Chain A
Amino acid sequence: MNGHSFTLAGAELVALGSGALWWPDQVLLCVSDLHLGKSERVARRSGLTLPPYDTRDTLTRLAADLALTNARTVVCLGDSFDDLRAAEALPEDEKLWIAKLQAGRRWVWIEGNHDPGPIDLGGTHLAELPRAPLTFRHIAQSGASGEVSGHYHPKAEIATRARLISRPAFLLDSDRVILPSYGTYTGGLRSTAPELSDLMRPEALAILTGRNPHAVPMPRAAPDHTNPASSN
């Protein structure tokens, strides 16, 4: 399995190149920020008719990860739906597809800011899921430890000798891991953003997703050298 293994609060975890987190001991797969139904919500709100294939693309990749891992528990870490109306408006065949993926496994929908309420699909709906030694929740809380969260859609940029490469990334330190977004129609927030820099410890790592996940020290914004007194 192409992944980067690490330990969080004693739990042995694997960051997969797809952006999913795999916990072999618990046979648990965790994905974050699926944003299913995003194209429907965009059309409803703005009139823009984006290619309506995002949900099936996201589910196709999730199905592949499930086939690969044979996970017994699936945790969707919040913002699984672009909003609650988008969840209701999913076409019948996509709802059936989700039901098929759920068959024979425990399925947990963690609530996110986009999908705060329960939805009419199988699975358990929770604000957060504690599973010792870890806690799964949508948005990281400062001071927490052994925490698995999503929400920020982190990405990292690496300047290689030939070009700048930017990829969705896991952010990892001794207290927490933040997952990249898994949904097809999602963008990323640079790891240099203050929200992420403030949240993560100085020695944090970024694990870039892709064919082979690569771990690097988490890129941070350069310190500000500006001397306000001398600016004119």
Chain B
Amino acid sequence: MTSLPSRFTNWFSTKGWSIHPHQQAMLDRSDDPALLLIAPTGGGKTLAGFLPTLVDLAEAGHNGLHTLYISPLKALAVDIKRNLRTPVDEMGLEIRIDDRTGDTPASRKKRQRADPPHILLTTPESLALLVSYEDAPLMFRGLKRVVVDEIHALAESKRGDQLMLALARLQTLCPDLRRVGLSATVEDPQAIAHFLARHPDPCEILMADPGPPPDIAMLTTDEAPPWAGGGAKYAIPAVLEQVKRHKTTLIFHNTRAQAELFFHNLWLANDDSLPIGIHHGSLDRIQRDRVEAAMVRGELRAIVCTGSLDLGIDWGDVDLVIQIGAPKNVKRLVQRIGRANHRYNAPSKALLVPANRFEVVECIAALEAVKAGDLDGDPRGDGPLDVLCQHILITASAGPFQADALYAEVTSAGAYHTLSRAEFDACLDFCATGGYALRAYDQWQRLMRRADGLWQLRDPRTARRIRMNIGTIQDTDTLKVRLKRSRGGKPLGEIEEGFAATLTPGDTFLIGGQIVRYEGLREMTVEVTRRADKKPKIATFMGTKFATSTQLSARILEMFRQPSWPALPPHTAEWLALQRSVSKLPEPGRLLIESFPHDGREQMVVYGFAGRNAQQTLGLLLTKRLEEMGLNPLGFVSTDYATLIWGLDRLDDPAPLFDIAALRDGLETWLAGNAVMKRTFRASATIAGLIERNIGGQRKSGRQATFSSDILYDTLHKYDPDHLMLKITRTEALRGLVDFGRIEDLAARIGGRIDHLKLDRITPLSAPLFLEPGRVPIKGLAEERLLAEEADRLLSTAGLATAPAPRKPQWRVGY
């Protein structure tokens, strides 16, 4: 057992603390090549990760960078710096700690490269950028440890894959580098350990005491939740009451738009003027910083927030977490609950607030799952090749490299451990020449092979462009919102370009909890004033889509079979009974389809209860059949339970829809032209460096110079269908879909047992679907008919003296 130096034991005892067993274990095993700690929030996890570093620095000293700390959130890096300073200062240790994120001023960044601190706190993107500099070997010389915080969150995304490739690079520069991963409770620790390890080295797992089970319940209200809707406005009085009874409450929402709306309504009802703030990723950084600072000072009683506060930021005295809307995913729920009560061994307290009656059912199912300790999650596949392509370009930016050595390095990362040499070579060729069947770029290759066999950038100046494109996070196109002033007013945040396009001067919308009035667009900035005299439209954001686990779906379907629902609140039981009387409740072994007109279109709901991925695939297949049958589908959206399809014509007989042979026939071509594929292509092509994130000035000037990535996709598909980029797109798109075999299984299971109900209005069970984000448009013949209709209408109106302005678009969810 490694004993703690006296300076440390003294410090612990002045605090009245003793070292946790897992903190001691981390110290004992500080020489492990890689070590994963799984501990609940509040378990002194961060200190456990840094203890070996602090002890080593205190005892032995160090010249230059000693430990690199990576977190998925910029805010977390800043927060950890503050928390780490306390013990370091109180023990009087001579340790330099600094953070580096996209927000760090350039002068400080430059200084960090020339004279690095002992401990550098950063994000995967900032690290990738550091690795791309020619002087990376100098900066990282002597690096001994790396701590990856919230590794469970990183392991789910391409950001994590990019991070692990950067670590592989660092490991080459510093062969004795030790890796530590800190994770919240997860369903498969082994998968995270595999992700963290440098292969073939081992990675042991340390499990800390998980603490007592959380105290979690559904908030019961006198008023019944509505049939549909995500606002949970009905629960405002009950939520305010809870805020009053607790010291500090975090109120989580699944989407930013919901958070905005809820905050607005909360504020209107806040008669006692309790200090309540709002925090989400679309707010301006200055606004967010202010809320965070007020929170740290203990000045806020509640924060309305989204996933931007999801990860382990230490908010001190949070004693209640409220989740508005169904948690969708049990693992995420448990992690969010971990936000409350950062004291070890005190149960976390959380309340679920269903936003509509379907969510009451979901919440009950989720509570049962938490009690049963059933965490859900899907394993991720092999490391994505678009991220690898970016990594090759990053490597080339740092200097000439040898292909064999890079291949060996890349395959030491868990996600790329099984990468074949052929796949690697295809990625290298893509980076060098574009990898086209038509060898067009011999003269203008991006990377070229020198006489000595090393690869390097043809034009060293392109390194700058590559660096500007680093990262794997896909921003939707957003526009900044500012108060209108003569010299650039106060920034408020961002809204999606698609939403901005629907605004006309005078329209109002919510941002940062205030209603603002749209005045106009100037240099790609939305200018607003505070003159709000109309009911606001709601700014919409691409809310993060959480897939409910199939396991939750199964629990719900089982619940539907009951003759009555004594466990559910009466309003929800009545709602299910109503669905049963006006339509039907879905049953296992049968397929329920409802058709009804709504919102000027024909709607069709297919309750497959097959999980989001399978329902999404079903949506693609069914819209293909509907297009062939001449029913003019316009789009679809899928949840874990059902697929909603809307179009111009009504379905009479669903039987031909499920003709498996017809479904399979031409699936590839249909899939290829679909919006899902084009969306995926755009994301992957940006990551792989085929197109650039910001075509900067071109976009700004609003000129005709840019063209849609859809055109590139279509061209490639037509002339080079086996191209690497299309293979990557298919793989990536299929991560979110399921293979055709599962659909065949579904059809076989149902047999001909389809219950098709033609109704004259929206049904209780279908209502929540109309608010679901993630709508997929179908651009078929329906567009021609819509255009013809609209053109006729416009031209007949234009029989007057002058042409009228086009009809103002009505704001809708999605499109």
Q: Which residues of A contact B (CB under 8 A)?
A: 39-40, 43-44, 46-54, 56-57, 91, 152-153, 157-165, 181, 184-189, 193, 202-205, 208, 210-212, 214-220, 222-226, 230-232
Q: A47-B444, A185-B707, A186-B704 are in contact. List 12 more A-B contacts (CB 8 A).
A: A43-B440, A44-B444, A53-B436, A53-B719, A56-B719, A158-B806, A160-B789, A162-B634, A162-B648, A218-B803, A220-B805, A226-B505
* Cβ contact within 8 Å between B436 and A52: yes
What's the Cα separation between A204 and B4 when bound, in Å?
A: 82
User: Which residues B762-815 have CB closer than 8 A to chain A?
Assistant: 777, 782-784, 786-791, 794-795, 798, 802-809, 815
Residues of chain B lying within 8 A (CB to CB) of residue A40: 440, 444
* Cβ contact within 8 Å between B506 and A225: yes
In the assembled complex, 20 residue pairs joining A and B whose CB atoms fall closer than 8 Å, in A order, are A40-B440, A40-B444, A48-B692, A49-B436, A159-B790, A160-B787, A160-B789, A161-B786, A162-B786, A187-B706, A193-B702, A205-B803, A210-B783, A212-B784, A212-B788, A214-B791, A223-B805, A224-B505, A225-B505, A231-B529
Q: Given the known A-B contacts A44-B444, A47-B462, A165-B786, are A189 and B716 also in contact in the complex, defined by CB atoms under 8 Å?
A: no
* Cβ contact within 8 Å between B704 and A211: no
What's the Cα separation between A163 and B808 when bound, in Å?
A: 12
* Residue of B440, B787, B804, B805 touching A39 (CB-CB under 8 A): B440
Residues of chain A lying within 8 A (CB to CB) of residue B692: 46, 48
Instruction: Identify the closest chain B residue to A219 (Cβ).
Output: B806
* Residue of B445, B506, B529, B803 touching A203 (CB-CB under 8 A): B803
Whether B246 is near chain A, meaning CB under 8 Å from some CB there, is: no
Q: Given the known A-B contacts A47-B462, A52-B434, are A226 and B441 also in contact in the complex, defined by CB atoms under 8 Å?
A: no
What's the Cα separation between A152 and B440 when bound, in Å?
A: 29
Whether B159 is near chain A, meaning CB under 8 Å from some CB there, is: no
Instruction: Identify the closest chain B residue to A193 (Cβ).
Output: B702
What's the Cα separation between A202 and B800 when bound, in Å?
A: 12
Residues of chain B lying within 8 A (CB to CB) of residue A222: 504-505, 805
Whether B571 is near chain A, meaning CB under 8 Å from some CB there, is: no
* Cβ contact within 8 Å between A51 and B704: no
* Residue of A47, A210, A216, A219 touching B459 (CB-CB under 8 A): A47
* Cβ contact within 8 Å between A215 and B787: no
Residues of chain A lying within 8 A (CB to CB) of residue B449: none
Instruction: Identify the closest chain A residue to B809 (Cβ).
Output: A159
* Cβ contact within 8 Å between A53 and B441: no
* Cβ contact within 8 Å between B704 and A57: no
Whether B600 is near chain A, meaning CB under 8 Å from some CB there, is: yes
* Residue of B690, B704, B777, B815 touching A187 (CB-CB under 8 A): B704
* Cβ contact within 8 Å between B434 and A49: yes
Residues of chain B lying within 8 A (CB to CB) of residue A219: 805-806
Least CB distance, A51 to chain B, in whole angstroms: 5
What's the Cα separation between A160 and B786 when bound, in Å?
A: 6
Whether B703 is near chain A, meaning CB under 8 Å from some CB there, is: yes
* Cβ contact within 8 Å between A215 and B795: yes
Least CB distance, B634 to chain A, in whole angstroms: 5
* Cβ contact within 8 Å between A217 and B444: no
Residues of chain B lying within 8 A (CB to CB) of residue A208: 787, 791
Instruction: Identify the closest chain A residue to B790 (Cβ).
Output: A160
* Cβ contact within 8 Å between B806 and A163: no
Whether B29 is near chain A, meaning CB under 8 Å from some CB there, is: no
User: Which residues B637-696 have CB closer than 8 A to chain A?
Assistant: 648, 689-692
* Cβ contact within 8 Å between A47 and B458: yes
What's the Cα separation between A225 and B544 when bound, in Å?
A: 35
User: Which residues B429-458 have CB closer than 8 A to chain A?
Assistant: 433-434, 436, 438, 440-441, 443-446, 457-458
* Residue of B505, B705, B720 touching A51 (CB-CB under 8 A): B720
What's the Cα separation between A63 and B708 when bound, in Å?
A: 24
User: Helix, strand, loop or mixed for chain A's interface?
Assistant: loop
What's the Cα separation between A160 and B806 when bound, in Å?
A: 9
Q: Which of A56, A189, A214, A218 has the most CB of B within 10 A?
A: A214
* Cβ contact within 8 Å between A51 and B790: no
Q: Given the known A-B contacts A50-B690, A208-B787, are A91 and B501 also in contact in the complex, defined by CB atoms under 8 Å?
A: no
Residues of chain A lying within 8 A (CB to CB) of residue B504: 222
Least CB distance, B285 to chain A, in whole angstroms: 23
Whether B247 is near chain A, meaning CB under 8 Å from some CB there, is: no
Residues of chain B lying within 8 A (CB to CB) of residue A214: 787-788, 791
Whether B82 is near chain A, meaning CB under 8 Å from some CB there, is: no
What's the Cα separation between A188 and B705 when bound, in Å?
A: 8
* Cβ contact within 8 Å between A51 and B434: yes
Write the B610-622 contact mask toward A (1 if CB under 8 angstroms, else 0).
Answer: 0000000000000
Whether B545 is near chain A, meaning CB under 8 Å from some CB there, is: no
* Residue of B529, B691, B707 touching A48 (CB-CB under 8 A): B691
What's the Cα separation between A160 and B531 when bound, in Å?
A: 30
* Cβ contact within 8 Å between B715 and A53: yes
Q: Given the known A-B contacts A43-B444, A188-B704, are A202 and B802 also in contact in the complex, defined by CB atoms under 8 Å?
A: yes
4 pairs of A and B residues whose beta carbons are closest in the complex: A49-B434, A217-B803, A52-B440, A187-B707
Whether B530 is near chain A, meaning CB under 8 Å from some CB there, is: yes
- The total of interchain contacts (Cβ-Cβ below 8 angstroms) comes to 178
What's the Cα separation between A43 and B444 when bound, in Å?
A: 6
What's the Cα separation between A40 and B795 when bound, in Å?
A: 43
Residues of chain B lying within 8 A (CB to CB) of residue A157: 806
Q: Given the known A-B contacts A161-B600, A208-B787, are A217 and B804 also in contact in the complex, defined by CB atoms under 8 Å?
A: yes
Write the B454-482 contact mask toward A (1 if CB under 8 angstroms, else 0).
Answer: 00011100100100000000000000000
Residues of chain B lying within 8 A (CB to CB) of residue A49: 433-434, 436, 441, 444-446, 690
Whether B758 is near chain A, meaning CB under 8 Å from some CB there, is: no
* Cβ contact within 8 Å between A162 and B444: no
Whether B484 is near chain A, meaning CB under 8 Å from some CB there, is: yes
* Residue of B433, B702, B815 touching A163 (CB-CB under 8 A): B815
Least CB distance, B598 to chain A, in whole angstroms: 13
Residues of chain B lying within 8 A (CB to CB) of residue A217: 794-795, 798, 803-804, 806
* Cβ contact within 8 Å between B436 and A51: yes
Least CB distance, B618 to chain A, in whole angstroms: 22
* Residue of A47, A160, A193, A202 touching B446 (CB-CB under 8 A): A47
Q: Which of A50, A157, A219, A224 has the most CB of B within 10 A?
A: A50
User: Which residues B484-515 have CB closer than 8 A to chain A?
Assistant: 484-485, 501, 504-506
Whether B601 is near chain A, meaning CB under 8 Å from some CB there, is: yes
Q: Given the known A-B contacts A43-B441, A212-B784, are A164 and B501 also in contact in the complex, defined by CB atoms under 8 Å?
A: yes
What's the Cα separation between A185 and B695 when bound, in Å?
A: 15
* Cβ contact within 8 Å between B706 and A163: no
* Cβ contact within 8 Å between B715 and A161: no
What's the Cα separation between A113 and B452 when bound, in Å?
A: 43
What's the Cα separation between A157 and B711 when bound, in Å?
A: 18
Residues of chain B lying within 8 A (CB to CB) of residue A43: 434, 440-441, 444
Least CB distance, B373 to chain A, in whole angstroms: 45
What's the Cα separation between A121 and B320 when bound, in Å?
A: 75
Residues of chain B lying within 8 A (CB to CB) of residue A226: 505, 519-520
Whether B343 is near chain A, meaning CB under 8 Å from some CB there, is: no
Write the B720-742 contact mask toward A (1 if CB under 8 angstroms, else 0).
Answer: 10010000000000000000000
* Cβ contact within 8 Å between B705 and A187: yes
Least CB distance, B347 to chain A, in whole angstroms: 49
Q: Given the known A-B contacts A47-B444, A159-B809, are A53 and B783 also in contact in the complex, defined by CB atoms under 8 Å?
A: no
What's the Cα separation between A230 and B543 when bound, in Å?
A: 35
Whether B205 is near chain A, meaning CB under 8 Å from some CB there, is: no
What's the Cα separation between A88 and B722 when bound, in Å?
A: 29
Least CB distance, A46 to chain B, in whole angstroms: 7
What's the Cα separation between A231 and B71 when bound, in Å?
A: 42
Residues of chain A lying within 8 A (CB to CB) of residue B600: 161-162
What's the Cα separation between A185 and B529 when bound, in Å?
A: 39
Residues of chain A lying within 8 A (CB to CB) of residue B704: 152-153, 181, 186-189
* Cβ contact within 8 Å between B708 and A187: yes
What's the Cα separation between A214 and B806 when bound, in Å?
A: 15
Whether B718 is near chain A, meaning CB under 8 Å from some CB there, is: yes
Least CB distance, A128 to chain B, in whole angstroms: 21
What's the Cα separation between A37 and B782 when bound, in Å?
A: 35
Residues of chain A lying within 8 A (CB to CB) of residue B707: 185-188
Residues of chain B lying within 8 A (CB to CB) of residue A232: 483-485, 529-531
What's the Cα separation between A153 and B805 when bound, in Å?
A: 21
